[in-house]
Amino acid sequence: MNRPTVPADFLPFALPEIGEEEIAEVVDTLRSGWITTGPKARRFESDFAAFLGEPGLHCVAVNSATAGLHLALEALGIGPGDEVLTTTHTFTATAEVVRYLGADVKLVDCDAATLNIDPAAVEAAVGPRTKALVPVHYAGLAADMPRLLQIARRHRLKVVEDAAHALPSTSGGRLVGTLGSDAAVFSFYANKTITTGEGGMLVTRDPEIAARARVMRLHGISRDAFDRFSAQVPSWYYEIVAPGFKYNLTDIAAALGLHQLRRARDFHRRREQLAQAYDAALSGLPLQLPAHAPPGEQHAWHLYVVRLADDARVARDRVIERLYAAGIGCSVHYIPLHLQPYWRERYGLQARHFPRSQRAFERMISLPLYTRMRDADVERVAQALRAVL
């Protein structure tokens, strides 16, 4: 099959912004001789807690948000016989970690406007086996955490926020990561609002969750490798206290994170500017533009997701093909879990069970959004959409 030719001026869907400071820090790490989990990973944890700005937070650096979600639920004791609620409108990592632990997933629909998990659907889905809730802050817009936390308290549910998109989103005027949940987990994947290449951060106020996560992120060893190998007195002895995992973040990755975090506010301002430019450039087209944060709140703008209006005369897949032919990369966030073979077959799911997610999926397109984009790139995307629509 012939593959379409990629234009030389192709505008990708996402690109990280890596500066000289990040490069110098990585080089310093390589020259230091300490390239796995060590002093820079620990510094990154400390800096992340300072960024969130509230006392009493414990930050545990891990090699992915998937790992962080797994560790958080494991530390909360989720296991066989338990059920965890989350949204169908997410990436599979949100749900698959529940299955790692032998528990079951119950998927619920999203809100039609925000595409975040619908609190009313959560309330209706709680059953005798429900032990935890994993809300997702879709595209960088915080879920309705006041309502969700109320529901959780009423039903005695643990809450782990999938905050992969949510740095620096706010809810109730507070940064995600400082809310009333048991834990929040951030992603630093290559296309996120800051990146370590691969990586994540588990944030909790509960010292027991943090302590368990630190043990379980490295094979269930009773002491961090940094502590064992950096002590002035030889400290070779350790104990395996649980069958843990291999989820630690390396110092090479943390070196990137140290400087990405310092630039997070500037990155966010640029993402906001690009989202506003898209709003203006796309007005008048048969599109539903993404929901904004309520007044006084902050949208992280990890993604800019549009949906074709009912009067659009071109199907979604055709629009993406035409944009690609014009040299513009797009994506779809997400193919809902109820359409994925594993989840569909395991739980007997059908599209009619999730009408809002299904309808959104059939019409949605994620447009390029990253800090290295120019204003002219936004206009180029808008012009291409005008030509297609």
Active site residue 131: no
CA distance from start to end of the chain: 28
Give the pairing of strands 304-308 and 200-204: unpaired
Q: Give every CB contact of residue 153 below 8 A, 6+ residues apart in sequence.
A: none
SS3 for 39-83 is: HHHHHHHHHHHHHHCCCCCEEEEECCHHHHHHHHHHHCCCCCCCE
332 to 257, 276, 319: CA distances (angstroms): 27, 20, 12
Cis amide linkage into residue 334, ω under 30° from 0: yes
Cβ pair 350, 338 in contact under 8 A: yes
CA 306 from chain center: how many Å? 19
**Active-site pick, 40, 158, 192, 246:** 192
How many Cβ atoms are within 10 Å of 48's Cβ, its own excluded? 24
State how far the Cα of 46 lies from the Cα of 361, in Å rounded to an integer.
39
State how far the Cα of 151 lies from the Cα of 182, in Å rounded to an integer.
14
- Please list the active-site residues: 192
